[in-house]
């Protein structure tokens, strides 16, 4: 009987870890989805499929007649008429496969989420309390597919590219889904101290209570309150930093949607100016922040400086508060990835946004968001332990 009691908590922890790693796989697939989506935009492929069929759309054209039918539909939209007139069938197939792969990966993510979810829910690996959250995550994935088509639809009637607003919303929903799944995965891979106590000592047993992860080290001479206050400040700022990175990525989406990376390809000035030329030529004045390519690029530059200063301050605050363990490691990760990302951003700008650099720039932004969420998750333990 004693052996049975001992193995049940171990099996419970193993089941939780299995759920956590499954969610990590989903997060990686979403990251790949974002990367392929960026390449789809960079290659001008996003409007190549002019219809949305969630079921039969998974099957690409299989005959010459089907390829010609898809090509004729593309030839009726403004992008072909104004920019790609005279494109060959083989050139159309190249952009078609990019968009088809992007959509197929979205469908695949749905299956990879749904089937293991049903299994984990049936076996009890996912707690009853978390079932509504998982359903919401699945629904958010479905919403992302709809938002993607809503974005594509904006470029089929009068525009030669998709709306920068809808592009930013499409990316924004993907990032929310990515962040929510990554956070949930961390909760399953690194259970809070209370869960750890219940798993390691189900009957009380007089076992010593586990200390909170990454909690500030005890101090002498009445300095415990000061250390706790520092941990609270670090925890609060760490929770805010991912939102700052998120907003900067949305600004990047506006730059991409307006093709603003192809102008003002100098740094640190903008062709010798601090501001772009004629930054407020449209009325009302505030619309220029979203529709003036030069001002959109300026906003993204300023956003990068703010993120860099915030990353330095976050790292400095964490070191000053003497956070330990993974909270300390993740603070260093944020600092390093931030400066790599800035270097990539400058190189991308100076070289007029070549596809390889642009794609790497976007992937590194996602890595920074991941590091920010990881650090926030670890520091939340400091905050909870010290508040």
**pLDDT computed for residue 131 by the predictor:** 95
How do residues 346-382 score in pLDDT, each as one tens digit?
999 999 999 999 999 999 999 999 999 999 999 876 6
For the segment 241-268, the average pLDDT, to the nearest whole number, is 96
Identify the band that residue 218 occupies on the pLDDT scale cut at 50, 70 and 90.
very low
**pLDDT computed for residue 261 by the predictor:** 93
The H-assigned helical ranges of 47-163 are 64-74, 78-83, 89-123, 131-153
**pLDDT computed for residue 230 by the predictor:** 61
Residues with Cβ < 8 Å from 153, sequence gap 6 or more? Answer: 52
Q: What is the pTM of this model?
A: 0.87
Token couple for 158: 């009068």
How do residues 122-166 score in pLDDT, each as one tens digit?
999 998 899 999 999 999 999 999 999 999 999 999 999 999 999
Other CB atoms within 10 Å distance of the CB of residue 356: 11
Q: Which of 229-233, 235-239, 315-319 has the highest mean pLDDT?
A: 315-319
Other CB atoms within 10 Å distance of the CB of residue 324: 16
For the segment 4-12, the average pLDDT, to the nearest whole number, is 56
How do residues 281-338 score in pLDDT, each as one tens digit?
888 999 999 999 999 999 999 999 999 999 999 999 999 888 888 999 999 999 999 9
Q: Which of 18-22, 190-194, 227-231, 379-383 has the highest mean pLDDT?
A: 18-22
Angstrom distance (rounded) from CA 187 to CA 111: 23
Mean pLDDT of the chain: 87
Percent of the chain with pLDDT over 90: 75
Identify the band that residue 12 occupies on the pLDDT scale cut at 50, 70 and 90.
confident
State yes or no: pLDDT of 9 exceeds 70.
no
Other CB atoms within 10 Å distance of the CB of residue 77: 19
Q: Please answer whether residues 173 and 147 qualify as being in contact, where contact means their C-beta atoms are separated by less than 8 angstroms.
A: yes
For the segment 207-234, the average pLDDT, to the nearest whole number, is 49
Residues with Cβ < 8 Å from 375, sequence gap 6 or more? Answer: 238, 241, 314, 318, 327, 330, 331, 333, 334
**pLDDT computed for residue 281 by the predictor:** 87
**pLDDT computed for residue 55 by the predictor:** 83
């Amino acid at each position: 009987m004693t052996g049975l009691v001992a193995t049940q908590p171990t099996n419970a922890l193993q089941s939780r870890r299995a759920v956590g790693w499954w969610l990590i796989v989903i997060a990686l697939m979403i990251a790949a989805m974002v990367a392929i989506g960026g390449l789809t935009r960079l290659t001008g492929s996003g409007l190549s499929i002019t219809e949305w069929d969630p079921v039969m759309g998974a099957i690409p054209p299989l005959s010459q007649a089907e390829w010609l039918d898809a090509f004729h539909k593309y030839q009726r939209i403004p992008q072909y008429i104004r920019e790609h007139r005279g494109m060959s069938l083989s050139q159309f197939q190249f952009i078609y496969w990019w968009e088809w792969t992007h959509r197929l990966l979205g469908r695949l993510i749905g299956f990879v989420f749904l089937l293991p979810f049903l299994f984990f829910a049936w076996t009890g690996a996912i707690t009853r309390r978390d079932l509504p959250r998982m359903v919401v995550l699945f629904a958010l994935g479905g919403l992302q597919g709809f938002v993607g088509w809503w974005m594509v639809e904006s470029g089929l009637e009068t525009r030669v590219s998709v709306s920068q607003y809808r592009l930013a919303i499409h990316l924004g929903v993907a990032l929310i889904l990515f962040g929510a799944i990554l956070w949930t995965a961390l909760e399953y891979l690194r259970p809070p101290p209370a869960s750890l106590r219940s798993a390691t000592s189900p009957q009380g047993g007089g076992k010593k209570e586990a200390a909170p992860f990454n909690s500030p080290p005890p101090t002498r001479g009445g300095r415990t309150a000061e250390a706790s206050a520092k941990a609270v400040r670090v925890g609060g700022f760490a929770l805010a930093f991912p939102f700052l990175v998120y907003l900067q990525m949305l600004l990047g989406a506006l730059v991409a949607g307006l093709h603003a990376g192809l102008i003002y390809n100098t740094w640190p000035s903008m062709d010798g100016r601090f501001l772009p030329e004629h930054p407020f030529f449209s009325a009302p004045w505030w619309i220029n922040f979203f529709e003036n390519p030069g001002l959109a690029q300026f906003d993204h530059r300023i956003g990068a400086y703010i993120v860099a200063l915030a990353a330095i301050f976050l790292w400095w605050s964490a070191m000053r508060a003497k956070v330990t363990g993974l909270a300390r490691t993740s603070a260093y990760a944020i600092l390093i990835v931030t400066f790599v990302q800035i270097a990539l951003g400058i190189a991308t700008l100076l070289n007029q946004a070549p596809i390889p650099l642009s794609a790497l720039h976007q992937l590194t932004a996602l890595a920074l968001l991941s590091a920010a969420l990881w650090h926030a998750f670890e520091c939340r333990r400091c905050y909870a332990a010290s508040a």
